[in-house]
Amino acid sequence: MQRLIEVRTYRLKPESGTRFEQVMTRHALPLLRERGMDVVAFGRSRHEHESWYLIRAYRDQADLVAQQDAFYSSAIWREGPRADVVGCIEDYLNTLLWLSDAAIDELRTAI
């Protein structure tokens, strides 16, 4: 079975990496998981100090849109860690691709 993967890469503002990591790991990622999103991996880029990634898996594009619309419009996000997370980000880019369940499982453990 193939699933749609979203690789979101973030370029952070200078000196905001520590704060970003703390807010993401302590607040944002747990909220994403509580809302049913399949968070495959999260971490710092190995080649650029101020770059980070978040990889999530979805059934298809409609599932991605539905889950993200519900989450990012929710009060728990908007009144929670949103301002702290967004305040660290200079820019971000999303890339979508289809991967097998086996490849997704490899991403979970390899990164």
Number of other residues whose CB lies within 10 A of the CB of residue 43: 13
Report whether pLDDT(111) > 80: no
Model pTM score: 0.93
CA distance 1 to 17: 36
Q: What is the pLDDT of residues 53-109, one digit of tens each?
A: 999 999 999 999 999 999 999 999 999 999 999 999 999 999 999 999 999 999 998
- List beta partners, residue 95: 7
The identity of residue 86, as a single letter, is V
Phi, psi of 19 (to 5 degrees): -65, -45
Structural domains of the chain, with CATH: 2-110 (3.30.70.100)
